[in-house]
Chain A
């Protein structure tokens, strides 16, 4: 539920739109949500229950906390720590890259916003796996980048199978999820709000810090959620770009399922879920403080 809400970026509303969605209109279209509810039950609720069941039981169906306790195993703990580090770093890099980009895009005089949005999501039209494998080829010791570097007599890049490559893969794949929500809140900030700040004597830096940044925080929070969560749980990127040298918690879970140990896999998944819930709770608290009303 919360992840779905993260997509629903809250934006400053003009005062006139307050009384939208009369009860009449909503009642009439209520049945429309039926397929959606069916979908949620079938593909979100039931799998969650299954994971909960496997995570809390042993092979002979008796209750246990051992599967969750498995996180304390040094190997798993290390995998979790690395995963947290890597996803935090890549979320931060995404934020630092995305915010200025979203600012530039939102200010551009380009007639159609849909064109900008398309450019950002264009890479996503290609399969996620393909894109990551492409990076693998690019970064390889004998890959294209190094061939070019060698040609110019420059030192070659040696980052494949290192944490750097994984972060690169995460940033590359998840950057659009940071840019779009921020861009969306930025273009919805009324130009006259910014004019009003300038009118009252604020220079452009003050206007940014006191007006634009706080008003765009809901977009930043959504962006962080949408980058942090998939980064924390990914195993594909680390598989392809990290070789088998760097094991993230996602890899551990994948391996457990692969070798048929659903109980441990589910238990570790639950731990990960708890981390995600905590991080979102923290974020939503920040958002509340800045916005005056909640995002969730």
Chain B
């Protein structure tokens, strides 16, 4: 990844009728960066991609590519290829013809095209599918053909709209690995859309969390996970306990009536804040050793860990632990200071709206 801004979206606004889908969106994407747009259904991820791809015109704002304004440039003149959310394969052409489409337009040699088809099919694990028709393929196979059709063109930027959504876990992990390898080999910049936060966290250099047409937070996966800027991000990325609390003073927060040490400062005295604590960061100890006492009310086995709910001081704490604590046990709750994330209460109306959504 370089510091070169390859794509720059400036003040993009887009509405469909009365529905404002993107509101004054600003976002830049650096060369060879893997950027993931993450957010709930309908938040405008696809619309953002379509504006970069040129299939949708923004009402306001500009799309800058390598320093040039391409807002009005036709899709076929952009150095961008797209993997569409609904695949959009050409059903009247064979798999091979689908993959060859872009290369034929660019008048590549027969030999080159043949090699590329073979290479791409191997990459997406569909060797020998050359002569199949798209509608004879399963959803996951069609999706992989859509990926193959886009990557053979070796574009500067690849836009991928939930490209692995129809695949099973194993295949998805293989494809994630292949895509990352491809990105590093060919130096392609990826703009990736997914619902799957785990996928976003493992693959991305940068995650853009969106909600209702607004960007909530931009950051590295670590930033987004460990230091969510607001309750929406905290709630959307991973599971978390979001508890309204009072910041007593620097490095001391009062959660549900008990004082916890924390590492944040600069919020002022006795200020209402939201506290985020990840379920895996809560330590269950003997009742007398805890800062807060409570009782285990439910227990679920989740494979790697147990998921428990602990009723304490009127709040149901979500706890992940590898140790089993039976339902009905009295327990104490402790949290290490650096695992307590303090967030300002939302102030603006937009943020308020976001808060209500949750």
**A198 engages B76 (CB within 8 Å):** yes
Chain B nearest Cβ from A178, distance in angstroms: 21
Which A residues from 170 to 217 make CB contacts under 8 A with B?
A: 190, 192-193, 195-203, 206, 210-211, 214-215
**B86 engages A14 (CB within 8 Å):** yes
**B135 engages A13 (CB within 8 Å):** yes
Residue B319 at the chain A interface, CB threshold 8 Å:
no
A200–B106 Cα distance when bound, in Å, is 9
Given contacts A192-B84, A195-B55, A200-B149, contact A15 B139 (CB under 8 A): yes
A-side contacts of B74, CB under 8 Å:
198, 203
Residues of B within 8 A of A (CB-CB), count: 30
A290–B150 Cα distance when bound, in Å, is 24
**A201 engages B84 (CB within 8 Å):** no
Given contacts A206-B105, A215-B92, A291-B92, contact A199 B87 (CB under 8 A): no
Residue A12 at the chain B interface, CB threshold 8 Å:
yes
Residue B102 at the chain A interface, CB threshold 8 Å:
yes
A12–B133 Cα distance when bound, in Å, is 12
**A292 engages B153 (CB within 8 Å):** no
Among residues of B, the one whose C-beta sits closest to the C-beta of A198 is B75
Which B residues from 89 to 120 make CB contacts under 8 A with A?
A: 89-92, 101-102, 105-106
A214–B97 Cα distance when bound, in Å, is 14
Most buried by A among B87, B91, B142, B149: B91
Chain B nearest Cβ from A109, distance in angstroms: 12
B-side contacts of A215, CB under 8 Å:
91-92
Selected from B92, B105, B139, the residue in CB contact (under 8 A) with A200 is B105
**B133 engages A292 (CB within 8 Å):** yes
**B88 engages A193 (CB within 8 Å):** yes
Most buried by A among B54, B92, B150: B92
A-side contacts of B91, CB under 8 Å:
12-13, 193, 215
Residue A18 at the chain B interface, CB threshold 8 Å:
yes
Among residues of B, the one whose C-beta sits closest to the C-beta of A211 is B90
A-side contacts of B54, CB under 8 Å:
198
Interface of A is mostly: helix
A215–B91 Cα distance when bound, in Å, is 8
Given contacts A13-B135, A215-B92, contact A199 B105 (CB under 8 A): no
A206–B90 Cα distance when bound, in Å, is 14
**A197 engages B86 (CB within 8 Å):** no
Residue B47 at the chain A interface, CB threshold 8 Å:
no
**A202 engages B76 (CB within 8 Å):** yes
**A193 engages B105 (CB within 8 Å):** no
A197–B100 Cα distance when bound, in Å, is 11
A72–B81 Cα distance when bound, in Å, is 62
Given contacts A197-B101, A200-B81, A201-B105, contact A292 B92 (CB under 8 A): yes
A197–B88 Cα distance when bound, in Å, is 9
Residue B53 at the chain A interface, CB threshold 8 Å:
yes
A22–B230 Cα distance when bound, in Å, is 49
**A18 engages B80 (CB within 8 Å):** no
Most buried by A among B54, B74, B105: B105
B-side contacts of A190, CB under 8 Å:
86, 88
A195–B142 Cα distance when bound, in Å, is 17
**B135 engages A18 (CB within 8 Å):** yes
A290–B90 Cα distance when bound, in Å, is 12
**B90 engages A196 (CB within 8 Å):** yes
A192–B49 Cα distance when bound, in Å, is 13
Q: Could you list some 6 contacts between A and B, CB below 8 A?
A: A192-B55, A192-B84, A195-B88, A206-B105, A292-B92, A293-B133
Given A190-B86, A196-B89, 4 other A-B contacts at CB below 8 A? A15-B134, A201-B102, A206-B105, A293-B133
3 tightest A-B CB contacts, nearest first: A200-B102, A192-B88, A198-B75
